[in-house]
Amino acid sequence: MSADLFAEFSPSTYGEWLAALRDSLPGADLESLYTRTAEGISIHPLPHPDAPHFPSELGDVSFQRASWGSWQIAQEIDIDEPRAFNRALLDSLANGQTAIALNAGPRLQKPADLDMALAGIDLAHYPLFAADAAVFELLRATRSALEMTNLRGCIGSPSDDSAALADRFAVAEAVSPALGCVDISTAEQHANGANAVQELAFVLAAGADILRGLVRRGLPPDTVASRLHVTLCIGEDFFMQIAKFRAAKSLWAQMLRAFGASNTAQTIHLRARSGTRNKSLETAHNNLLRLTCEALAAALAGVDSMTLAAFDAPDADEFSRRLSRNIQLILQHEVQLTRTIDPAGGSWHVEWLTDQLGRRAWAAFQRSEAERQQAHNMRGAG
């Protein structure tokens, strides 16, 4: 746009904008326009470029940046019968899905079930995600050593048994160099009403707990960090969700740095999945709009993979699953979000919101750690 267009107008300061805003509010004050979020953050009605950078004591801002390229599309298929699941999965992979998620289906009771469910699929081409650690043993019974070596994704969830978890890491280290062993998910917390601060604090506390237990058993921090994945649910507040995923990257790096992990190991393996608490059964088609906004928020923040539920879940069919898959394909190939590095970076409001959210989440995590240490000291004194 030509600078001559604005030559006759004198530049306006931020103070002048505020004065004009106050003049437009007869009988009211500026504070009446503030929006207070569930996280306790007051949103100013006029975002401006004076927002601070993410504080260095909480993490390196470079970890927030979304990289260039596509995220993995990891749709869940809610079909119990392994053969029927396989037919649906093959169709999805042929039509744009790029990762396999086994959390919703199929029913896996023995190695033959998994063999049927994944028949005709080369796992070297598709990352595999499953919360049940038993899937790893089923794979070892049905796949060759070479196929196991090429496994990517993450299989397993957190466990209170550090010894069993250490064994899981040891086996994975020997068999599958790039496979994650623990996915720390906020699905339960999000469904029960957790806000963004609480979700982030939970992830940090769970990650720190796993690291403590495994480092005590002799595993190097880098080895543990490389096999930890994080799944955050996408909520209904668009800008808050962008900030949540961006803050997670810096906070995770800071937490790992405290355990002595190298700079490379501090990069988070970050997944996004749609939440359930804002979805409607009675007006299910409205969920398509919600899912689109959620997918856009996660994509702008730069996640590694994404799972969107069908808009009419739990009554999903092939058509509704395809719509959720195609939301992501449109964002990738038509909106072309994958061709822009860090599209949310530099936004005054997003950067400020990320800073505010990060500060609160780190403080909540520190309070959790202090309470844990106090409880530990009390047990020792007893």
- Assign 183 a pLDDT band (cuts: 50, 70, 90): very high
Lowest model confidence (mean pLDDT) among 36-40, 168-172, 341-345: 341-345
The number of domains in the chain is 1
Helix (H, G, I), strand (E, B) or coil at 105: coil
pLDDT at 191 over 90: yes
Q: Is 218 exposed, middle or buried (0-12, 13-18, 19+ CB in 10 A)?
A: exposed
228 in any annotated domain: yes
Mean pLDDT score, 231-252: 96
Q: Domain range spanning residue 373?
A: 56-275+282-381
Q: Cα(301)–Cα(345) distance, rounded to whole angstroms?
A: 9
Per-position b or e across 74-89, b if 16+ CB within 10 A of its CB: bbbbbbeebeebbbbb
pLDDT at 52 over 80: no
> How many Cα atoms within 13 Å fall on the side-chain side of residue 274?
28
pLDDT at 63 over 90: no
- Assign 3 a pLDDT band (cuts: 50, 70, 90): low
Give the percent of the chain with pLDDT over 90.
Answer: 73
Summarised one tens digit per residue, pLDDT across range 68-77 is 578 999 999 9
Instruction: Determine the pLDDT at residue 26.
Output: 82
Instruction: Determine the pLDDT at residue 1.
Output: 53
44 in any annotated domain: no
Helix (H, G, I), strand (E, B) or coil at 107: coil
User: Closest by alpha carbon to 353, among 29, 16, 40, 17?
Assistant: 40
Instruction: Determine the pLDDT at residue 64.
Output: 65
355 in any annotated domain: yes
Summarised one tens digit per residue, pLDDT across range 199-233 is 999 999 999 999 999 999 999 999 999 999 999 99
Instruction: Determine the pLDDT at residue 57.
Output: 47
- Assign 51 a pLDDT band (cuts: 50, 70, 90): very low
> How many Cα atoms within 13 Å fall on the side-chain side of residue 176?
28
Lowest model confidence (mean pLDDT) among 296-300, 311-315, 357-361: 311-315
CATH number at residue 167: 3.20.20.240
pLDDT at 59 over 70: no
Instruction: Determine the pLDDT at residue 339.
Output: 87
H-run or E-run covering 86: helix 82-94
233 in any annotated domain: yes
Instruction: Determine the pLDDT at residue 9.
Output: 81
- Assign 382 a pLDDT band (cuts: 50, 70, 90): low
- Structural tokens at position 37: 């979020």
Which comes out higher in pLDDT, residue 155 or 45?
155
pLDDT at 310 over 80: yes
Instruction: Determine the pLDDT at residue 287.
Output: 95
- Structural tokens at position 16: 């002048």
Q: What is the DSSP letter of 76?
A: B
Which comes out higher in pLDDT, residue 3 or 316?
316
Show the beta-strand stretches assigned E in the chain: 35-36, 42-43, 72-73, 100-101, 128-130, 153-155, 179-180, 182-185, 228-234, 269-274, 305-307
Mean pLDDT score, 143-161: 94
Mean pLDDT score, 39-55: 72
18 in any annotated domain: no
25 in any annotated domain: no
Summarised one tens digit per residue, pLDDT across range 248-295 is 999 999 999 999 999 999 999 999 999 999 999 889 999 999 999 999
Which amino acid is it at 380?
G
Mean pLDDT score, 346-360: 90
- Assign 381 a pLDDT band (cuts: 50, 70, 90): low
Which comes out higher in pLDDT, residue 15 or 168?
168
Instruction: Determine the pLDDT at residue 331.
Output: 96
Q: Cα(179)–Cα(99) distance, rounded to whole angstroms?
A: 13
Summarised one tens digit per residue, pLDDT across range 12-26 is 888 888 888 888 888
244 in any annotated domain: yes
Q: Cα(324)–Cα(327) distance, rounded to whole angstroms?
A: 5
Summarised one tens digit per residue, pLDDT across range 97-132 is 999 999 988 999 999 999 999 999 999 999 999 999
357 in any annotated domain: yes
Torsional sign, CA 360, 366, 368, 374: negative
Instruction: Determine the pLDDT at residue 2.
Output: 61
